Amino acid sequence: MIAFLDGSGVKASDFLVLTGVAAQDYLWDRFEPGWSEVLQNRSPIASQLHTVDLLAGAKEFSRTNGWTQEKCWALLWDCVKYAQTLDKLDFRVFTCTIDMGAYRELKAKGNRLPGYYAMCSRFSPELILKWYLEKMNINSRFSWRLSPGKPTGPNRSRPAPTPLHRSCARRCNPRPGKARRHACWLP
């Protein structure tokens, strides 16, 4: 299994988001040739898709490199259309969102919280591994360490919800019980 993750947001943002896509190796092996074709079957050729640069007309996608607004939108839509050809049962998208207003409020009250990037980085792998083990019908206990300290994983008990949990759960996903809500749990 391979997962690609990318984040957006900074300390001053309203929200910080880490999103990733996980799939088994065979899907990536099928995906890469078609994705490369979408990127290269145009003028100018795109070496990658980094949406923030594409929509801003920055870096590789600058006007000086031959990228007009129409060409940028055409690339984006071609990538979306290609992604729609994939079997949605073969991969999964994971998102962790931190309500930075609630985070700053809790920190101001003296609560000891992990760094906001650490929060998403800690729970995204947990969700990805849980999905993978369920998909593969592997019924085993596991834990992992992202930094020195206690093991983490689905087998440890969860703390009581905090205001950050509740705020994030409401904004991430208004329907309780969904996976994105669990990405908002604090350690």
User: What does the pLDDT look like over 117-158, one tens digit per residue?
Assistant: 788 877 778 788 888 888 776 655 444 434 344 444 444 444
Structure confidence at residue 139 (pLDDT): 57
Q: Mean pLDDT for the chain?
A: 75
pLDDT at 116: 81
Q: Taking Cα atoms as reference points, which of 29, 45, 168 lies closest to residue 103?
A: 168
Are residues 116 and 98 in contact, defined by beta-carbon separation less than 8 angstroms? yes
Q: What is the pLDDT of residue 59?
A: 95
Residue, of 183 and 99, whose pLDDT is higher:
99
**What are 163-176's pLDDT values in tens digits?**
333 333 333 333 33
Q: Which tops the pLDDT comparison, 181 or 134? A: 134
Rg of the Cα atoms in the chain: 19
pLDDT (tens digit per residue) in 12-35: 889 988 888 888 888 888 899 999
What pLDDT, on a 0 to 100 scale, did the predictor assign at position 39? 96
What's the CA dihedral at 155, 159, 164, 167 to 10 degrees? 80
Closest listed residue to residue 14, CA positions, set 116, 93, 94, 125? 116
Pick the most confident of 43-47, 51-55, 115-119.
43-47
Reported as a single tens digit per residue, the pLDDT across 68-120 is 999 999 999 999 999 999 888 888 888 888 899 999 999 999 999 888 878 88
- Alpha-carbon gap, residue 12 to 125, rounded angstroms: 25
Domain ranges of the chain: 9-18+97-182, 29-83
> Residue 73 contacts by C-beta under 8 Å, 6 or more apart in sequence?
none
